[in-house]
Amino acid sequence: MNISFDERLDGELVRRDKTEVLTDLQQAVPTLTLLHREEDLHPFECDGLAAYRILPMLVALPETLDEVEGLLKRCHALGVPVVTRGAGTGLSGGALPLERGVLLVMSRFNQILKVDPEARLARVQPGVRNLAISEAAAPFGLYYAPDPSSQIACSIGGNVAENAGGVHCLKYGLTVHNVMRVDVLTIEGEHMTLGSEALDAPGFDLLALMNGSEGMLGVVTEITVKLLPKPETAKVLMASFDDVEKAGRAVGDIIAAGIIPGGLEMMDKLAIKAAEDFVKAGYPLDAEAILLCELDGVEADVDDDCDTVRRVLTEAGATDIQQARDDAERAKFWAGRKNAFPAVGRMSPDYYCMDGTIPRRELPRVLKGIAALSEESGLLVANVFHAGDGNMHPLILFDANKEGELALAEDVGGKILELCVAAGGSITGEHGVGREKINQMCSQFQPDELSIFHALKAAFDPQGLLNPGKNIPTLARCAEFGAMHVHNNELPHPDLPRF
Interactions with a second copy, residue window 347-386 (CB under 8 A): 357-361
Closer residue to a second copy (CB): 30 or 202: 202
Which of 78, 112, 153, 192 is in the footprint of a second copy by CB under 8 A?
A: 192
Number of chain residues interacting with a second copy (CB under 8 A) = 78
Which CA distances in Å does 255 have to 267, 294, 388, 407?
18, 13, 8, 38
Q: How far is the CB of 121 from a second copy (least distance, A)?
A: 9
Q: How far is the CB of 169 from a second copy (least distance, A)?
A: 7
Report yes or no: 133 and 124 within 8 Å, Cβ to Cβ.
yes
Alpha carbon distance 373, 381 (integer Å): 9
Q: Which of the ranges 12-20, 118-126, 234-242, 319-327 carries the binding residues for a second copy, by CB under 8 A?
A: 118-126
Closer residue to a second copy (CB): 180 or 281: 180
Q: How far is the CB of 2 from a second copy (least distance, A)?
A: 25
Q: Which of the ranges 40-48, 254-262, 264-272, 326-334 carries the binding residues for a second copy, by CB under 8 A?
A: 254-262
Residues 293-312 that bind a second copy (CB under 8 A): 297-298, 300-301, 304
Alpha carbon distance 25, 484 (integer Å): 41
The conformational region for residue 230 under phi > 0 = left, psi -120 to 50 = alpha, else beta, is beta
Closer residue to a second copy (CB): 24 or 205: 205
Which CA distances in Å does 489 have to 450, 476, 495?
18, 11, 15
Alpha carbon distance 400, 314 (integer Å): 42
Report yes or no: 14 and 419 within 8 Å, Cβ to Cβ.
no
Q: Which of the ranges 19-27, 194-202, 279-287, 332-340 carries the binding residues for a second copy, by CB under 8 A?
A: 194-202
Closer residue to a second copy (CB): 172 or 334: 172
Closer residue to a second copy (CB): 77 or 455: 455
Closer residue to a second copy (CB): 89 or 443: 443
Closer residue to a second copy (CB): 34 or 496: 496
Please report the DSSP string for 10-63 in residue order. Answer: GTTS----HHHHHHHHHHHSTT-EEE-SHHHHGGGS--S-TT-----SEEEE--
Alpha carbon distance 400, 406 (integer Å): 5
**Is 460 a residue that touches a second copy (CB under 8 A)?**
yes
CA angle, 116 as apex, 113 and 121 as ends, to 5°?
A: 85
Residues 197-236 that bind a second copy (CB under 8 A): 197-206, 208-209, 211-213, 217, 229
Residues 151-180 that bind a second copy (CB under 8 A): 163, 165, 169, 173-174, 176-177
Of the candidates 28, 38, 97, 99, the one whose C-alpha atom is nearest the C-alpha of residue 69 is 28
Residues 413-452 that bind a second copy (CB under 8 A): 420, 424-430, 432-433, 437, 441, 444-446, 448-449, 452
Which CA distances in Å does 15 have to 88, 105, 390?
25, 22, 43
End-to-end CA distance of the chain: 26
Closer residue to a second copy (CB): 35 or 184: 184
Q: How far is the CB of 380 from a second copy (least distance, A)?
A: 25
Give me the amino acid identity at 79. G
CA angle, 89 as apex, 327 and 331 as ends, to 5°?
A: 5
Closer residue to a second copy (CB): 22 or 456: 456
Q: Which of the ranges 17-25, 78-86, 249-257, 335-343 carries the binding residues for a second copy, by CB under 8 A?
A: 249-257
Which of 196, 346, 402, 493 is in the footprint of a second copy by CB under 8 A?
A: 196
Which of 258, 404, 488, 489 is in the footprint of a second copy by CB under 8 A?
A: 258
Q: How far is the CB of 28 from a second copy (least distance, A)?
A: 22
List, in sequence order, every residue forming a beta bridge with 264; answer none if it has no partner.
Answer: 293
CA atoms within 13 A on the CB side of 352: 27
Residues 386-405 that bind a second copy (CB under 8 A): 389-391
Residues 46-105 that bind a second copy (CB under 8 A): none
Dihedral sign computed on CA atoms, order 438, 443, 444, 450: positive
Q: How far is the CB of 29 from a second copy (least distance, A)?
A: 22
Closer residue to a second copy (CB): 193 or 322: 193
b or e along 363-396 (b: 16 or more beta carbons within 10 Å of the residue's beta carbon)?
A: bbebbebbeebbeebebebbbbbbbbbbbbbbbb
Q: How far is the CB of 375 from a second copy (least distance, A)?
A: 25
Q: How far is the CB of 185 from a second copy (least distance, A)?
A: 11
**Is 21 a residue that touches a second copy (CB under 8 A)?**
no
Instruction: Please list, in sequence order, all residues whose beta carbon lies within 8 angstroms of the beta carbon of residue 262, skipping any fewer than 6 positions away.
Output: 167, 168, 170, 171, 172, 231, 234, 294, 295, 296
